[in-house]
A and B are shown apart, each in its own frame.
Chain A
Amino acid sequence: MRVTLWGTRGSLASAGSDTVRYGGNTSCVSVEGGEGILLVLDAGTGIRCLGQAASPDLKQVHILLTHLHMDHLQGLPFFAPLHRKGVEVHLWGPASTTLSLRARLLRYISPPLFPVSIRELLPDLHFHELPFGTIEMGEFRVTAQLIIHPNPTVGYRIQGHRTALAYLPDHEPALGARKFPYIAEWTSGYALAEGVDLLIHDSQYTDAEYQERVGFGHSSVRQALQFAVLAEVKHFVPFHHDPSHSDATLDQLIGRTVDEIQPRFQVTPGIEGLELDL
């Protein structure tokens, strides 16, 4: 399983000289196995570069949206394989109790917010509302589960032949908890992350920023690391960086927190372009 980070920024694309190294594109991660199926986790602005780099032999893509906030969706119309003949693209997202996934996406990808309607732009896109449980996608077994974040939001666990990845880019497991982390069974997202080979997790804030933004749906770097410790993961990637955090700030924030907590597993900062083979 090859995992590539195409966008690691949270909330808002943040291009600039002080974000060059961590990158300014919003959430997008690709997962490739050995059977030619491409999984794309979220469709933030990073998906544009993924589309440009995608193999011309690509036949099937599954885009797995965690939720429909703009920073996870904005790149979708710019994903080149959507416009290629012979590529089958499936779009998966959380269900809501009222509107279908397609109807909710139309709210954004249609005039006046976007110049062309999704109906005209992507007529062959296959929409799927996520069922509860596990779905087989080629060699991958994908499990989606609701996690704590405003509006219906899921995290994913992707099981390959030998290794597993958990992706929870927007997640506030500490919300309302008097002490964090709780024991495992009372912690949002635990079942998805338990024992995975790689956890990619929301790490948007400093401790002080979190105190001012409780309920926004995100975690501090410290909370994310504590969650990773609880879940006994093997490798942790802090992700969904705050748009106001420069490369220097992120180096310092992640480095200091790792020094304090001293996890037994490897921690690799979520940097745009990072490739990991599991």
Chain B
Amino acid sequence: MPQWEIEIILARHLAENLALPMFIVDPDGNLIFYNEPAEVVLGLRYNETGTMPAQEWTTIFHPMDPEGQPLEPEELPLMIATMKRHPAHRSFWIHGLDEAMRQIEVTAFPLVAQAGRFLGAIAIFWEVPK
């Protein structure tokens, strides 16, 4: 059975001990882990969903800009960090699975390990107070 790279395993350990929602994606943008605070926003439990393809998680929240226009997957910070391999930050709106609209801020950065190995990306997000 394959095993995740050590940097990814350590990132998961960090995420599990943070109160901030955190996503970890693999080099193809597939969601490979999200922590408990992220479960609250998602309305889904990691133990139930397991990994999630990029196509699924990037559209499941119906992300929108402040004018209510839908955001394409490649406009989301985590996908920018994955595809362009540089940090990205954005404020946008999501439609949570609990039916609530939330404005969130997201900061994402690529995981580039020793010897230039690209392992994926991490996003930390938080809800903007109303």
Binding site for B on A (CB under 8 A): 95-97, 131-132, 145-148, 152, 175-178, 184-188, 190-191, 194
- Majority secondary structure, A binding face: loop
- Cβ–Cβ < 8 Å partners of B4 in chain A: 185-186
In the complex, B66 has a CB within 8 A of chain A: no
Q: Given A95, A145, A178, A187, which contacts B114 in the complex, CB threshold below 8 Å?
A: A95
Nearest-neighbour CB distance to chain B for A202, whole angstroms, equals 15
Q: Given B2, B5, B13, which contacts A175 in the complex, CB threshold below 8 Å?
A: B13
Within 8 A of A (CB), among B1-58: 1-7, 9-10, 12-14, 16-17
> B6 and A146: CB pair below 8 A?
yes
> B114 and A188: CB pair below 8 A?
no
Residue on A with the closest CB to B5? A146
In the complex, B130 has a CB within 8 A of chain A: no
Known: A95-B115, A146-B6, A177-B16. 19 other contacts (CB 8 A): A96-B114, A97-B114, A131-B115, A146-B5, A148-B6, A148-B10, A176-B10, A176-B17, A184-B3, A185-B1, A185-B2, A186-B3, A186-B4, A187-B3, A187-B9, A188-B9, A190-B1, A190-B3, A191-B2
The docked-state distance in angstroms from the alpha carbon of A177 to that of B14 is 9
Binding site for A on B (CB under 8 A): 1-7, 9-10, 12-14, 16-17, 114-115, 117
- Cβ–Cβ < 8 Å partners of A145 in chain B: 6
* Most chain A Cβ neighbours within 10 Å, of B3, B7, B114, B117: B3
What would 16 A/B residue contacts be, using CB atoms closer than 8 Å? Answer: A95-B114, A131-B115, A146-B5, A146-B7, A148-B9, A175-B13, A176-B17, A178-B16, A185-B2, A185-B3, A185-B4, A186-B3, A186-B9, A188-B6, A188-B9, A191-B3
